Chain A
């Protein structure tokens, strides 16, 4: 069974500082991996995805993530935090099976930006 672990339910960074949100996965097959962002009272928005092409994936809003098979990690980074980045972030792994892209989500990391 697939699983995802997000270290740190809450992360605070200063505006302009590096953002690093951690995600480790467990999968018996080569995974598809995703990061989603959720703003208050909204649905989830896809930030970026890894689907076995380039290991460094660039997404929207200046975010990127690197797939490291040896570490079973897919950490999300952004060089310089902006106030608008405050939100909850979810890492997910796809249990991809005959067209069924059921996602298993991590428990989320709430990112706070300090002015």
Chain B
């Protein structure tokens, strides 16, 4: 597609439920990143994919968070047993090459009630 697509755009879930957030990067972009944006913490790095592998998972806040990428394309971020502090906007970005900067998606706004 022309841009980075994220779905759903909004998600409200009950505390304790699992959620899956999807990212469809720009075709041909091998690098994919997930960030979280929240009022208290600003923009935080979560995970980096190069192709289907994730050499840097250092930003995942706990073992309730996981992510995968398949076919060098679509990525899914999964949050298990959601907590209220997980409420945030989750942003995905992809990049063609180092130094080019990212293209961000519009994000998924997650609200845990």
Contact = CB atoms under 8 A, between A and B. Distances in A.
B25 interface: no
B42 A107 contact: yes
Interface of A: 32, 34, 36, 41-46, 49, 51, 90, 96, 98-108
Interface of B: 4, 31, 33, 35, 42-43, 45, 48, 50, 55-56, 59, 91, 93, 95, 98-107
Interface of B is mostly: strand
Given A100-B50, A100-B55, A43 B45 contact: no
Given A99-B31, A100-B55, A101-B31, A90 B99 contact: no
Top 10 A-B residue pairs of the complex, sorted by shortest distance between their CB atoms? A43-B104, A105-B43, A46-B101, A51-B99, A44-B104, A43-B106, A49-B101, A107-B42, A102-B45, A100-B48
Given A46-B102, A101-B48, 10 more contacts: A43-B4, A44-B91, A44-B93, A44-B102, A44-B104, A49-B100, A99-B31, A100-B48, A100-B50, A101-B99
